[in-house]
Amino acid sequence: MVKSVIHFNLSTFSISTRRTKWKSVIGLEVHAQLNTKSKLFSGARATFGAAPNSCVALFDASIPGTLPVLNKNAVELGVRTALALGCSVSAVSMFDRKHYFYADLPNGYQITQQRAPLARGGALSFPVFVPGVTKTPYYKTARLHQLQLEQDSGKSLHDPVERKSLVDLNRAGIPLMELVFEPDLETGEEAAALVKELMLILTRLQSCTCRMEDGALRVDANISVHKENTPLGTRTEVKNIGSVRAVAQAVDYEIQRQIAMLDNGGKIHNETRAWDAAAKATVAMRDKEVVQDYRFMPEPNLPPLHLRLHEADGAQMEADVIDVPKLGQTLPELPEQTRQRIIEMHQLSSTIAITLVNDITLYEHFRAITEQSSGRSAKLVANFLINELLAILNRNKLDTADCRVTSTQLGTIVDMLQENQLNAQYARRVLQELLASEDERLLQLCPREIVTTNRWFLITDEAHIRQQCEDVINRHPKLVDKYRKGKEKMLYALADLYIYIIATEPPI
């Protein structure tokens, strides 16, 4: 009976019906590849998609006699991230060896920061809002336990046909930043919202590309359920979740799986699981009941990492020591600061501000369109981008980054809407014309030309409209007579004739 409830349809299982009995606890660990030109401890290029084993230094391949040299830029990016998240940066941090044996880890250990990480503490406050799911946005805060630097492993490639496993060491030694969050989350949507906010922050800091499809950012979720006022349950870990949407799906599925298991008398095992995107289910990888001994030990080939935390430390530090206060002065405007600024500046609702800022391309369009002309209504621009552009892109299963319509073209459409030259229906048709076209020449057209060619301009001259209506009535007395005798459908015939006149007469 217990096994039979493990495989269920995620879309038909309602977790809300069980929340009166069960509480879920979720903590995330995020691994972000730092956006550096070279690796963490060697001078090899950190290039995604290069030919296999073409970006490998002697140290990355664990050739005897080679020593690690710390990448200063990686440390600076880690410090900037820590400051943006409100962490306490360590004046002295240290590196450790974490021993385990995989084919793609030639050293037999990973260099990480277990005992004395780069930073501790801090928190991330983020909005949780999913149109159609969350009625109104709310804010959640997840505390950050620590932020540490470590090296990535290589990549094993399995060929089932040749029955061989090959190793690509291009990724070995890529600088990673691991962010360990406290278990402060309760739902999959909260977990996804945290990851989304973190990606926005890292992108603005230029710490990480955040391209999850390339493995630049990977998420592990620790999940458990327990009844209210009882100790925490046994947790499972879902490893290497590969997209923001998959984070929500994987976490919610695992919560539901554990609840179903416990409700049917089963037991949750401390295990590592993976998210199967095709099956939309978590699958067991390995048992964690036996605690693995990683034999952590200090890295003897790397000295302690000293940072300058205060200006007063300047006289005591060497010139090449990283200056934390100076890095703090270079932080850009963060996503939440942007939301609050545009809410105050343009009187936008929090829902609109969240939707705009959560999509990098959409916000860039908003910023560019409002800055191009001070007379444009920011509310109209925001509503047009969200209700028209975003809706059309979603229907066509396109991402905003794939939209080839420029901010200038979008601004022209907004101008025509604001000047009452165009209505929303025809604004959508202009967008559809631009998005559907494969003709590069059409993509360069001004939207006004498209509207003029198709006679989509609104006619607002009441005297002209009245004259056109009178012309239709005078030219078709039989239809008018039938309408007056009670045949109301004749009114639609007269309206069609009026529309024909509009479509065929020269533009005024």
**Band of residue 2 on the pLDDT scale cut at 50, 70, 90:** very low
| Neighbour count for residue 105 (Cβ, 10 Å) | 21
Same domain for 160 and 278? Answer: yes
Percent of the chain with pLDDT over 70: 90
Mean pLDDT, the chain, as a whole number? 89
Domain boundary among 263, 280, 298: 298
Domain membership flag for residue 197: yes
Same domain for 282 and 364? Answer: no
Same domain for 351 and 486? Answer: no
* pLDDT value, residue 134: 76
- Per the structure, the count of domains in the chain is 3
- Side chain identity at 300, as an amino acid letter? P
- In this model, does residue 7 exceed pLDDT 50? no
Domain membership flag for residue 121: yes
| Start-to-end C-alpha separation, the chain | 76
Q: Which residues pair with 170 in a beta bridge?
A: none
Host domain of residue 371: 343-441
- In this model, does residue 259 exceed pLDDT 90? yes
Same domain for 175 and 294? Answer: yes
**Band of residue 5 on the pLDDT scale cut at 50, 70, 90:** very low
Of 173-177, 204-208, 268-272, minimum mean pLDDT range: 268-272
* pLDDT value, residue 461: 60
Contact 149, 118 (CB under 8 A): yes
Same domain for 415 and 493? Answer: no
pLDDT tens-digit profile of 193-207?
Answer: 999 999 999 999 999
**Band of residue 3 on the pLDDT scale cut at 50, 70, 90:** very low
DSSP for 471-486 reads HHHHH-HHHHHHHHTT
Secondary structure string (H, E, C) spanning 180-196: EECCCECCHHHHHHHHH
Domain membership flag for residue 319: no
Residue range 33-60: mean pLDDT, rounded: 97
**Band of residue 456 on the pLDDT scale cut at 50, 70, 90:** confident
Same domain for 168 and 228? Answer: yes
**Band of residue 290 on the pLDDT scale cut at 50, 70, 90:** low
Domain membership flag for residue 451: no
Domain membership flag for residue 226: yes
Domain boundary among 441, 471, 493: 441
In angstroms, the CA 354 to CA 131 distance is 11
- At 307, list the tokens: 């940072």
Domain membership flag for residue 254: yes
* pLDDT value, residue 302: 97
Percent of the chain with pLDDT over 90: 69
Domain membership flag for residue 1: no
Same domain for 284 and 357? Answer: no
* pLDDT value, residue 96: 98
Domain membership flag for residue 452: no
Same domain for 271 and 359? Answer: no
Same domain for 370 and 483? Answer: no
Same domain for 391 and 243? Answer: no
| Packing angle of the helix pair 360-372, 407-418 (nearest 10 deg) | 60
Same domain for 46 and 127? Answer: yes
* pLDDT value, residue 114: 93
* pLDDT value, residue 382: 97
Domain boundary among 267, 298, 329: 298
Of 508 and 121, the one with more pLDDT:
121
pLDDT tens-digit profile of 350-361?
Answer: 999 999 999 999
* pLDDT value, residue 412: 95
- In this model, does residue 80 exceed pLDDT 50? yes
pLDDT tens-digit profile of 126-135?
Answer: 999 988 777 8
Same domain for 471 and 364? Answer: no
In angstroms, the CA 212 to CA 171 distance is 15
* pLDDT value, residue 446: 87
Contact 145, 129 (CB under 8 A): no
Residue 431 has phi, psi (to 5 degrees) of: -60, -45
Residue 107 has phi, psi (to 5 degrees) of: -70, -25
pLDDT tens-digit profile of 468-506?
Answer: 787 888 888 888 888 888 888 888 888 887 777 665 665
- Whole-model pTM? 0.87
pLDDT tens-digit profile of 380-438?
Answer: 999 999 999 999 998 888 899 888 899 999 999 999 999 999 989 889 999 988 887 76
Cα dihedral 479→485→488→494 (10° resolution): 20
Contact 357, 333 (CB under 8 A): no
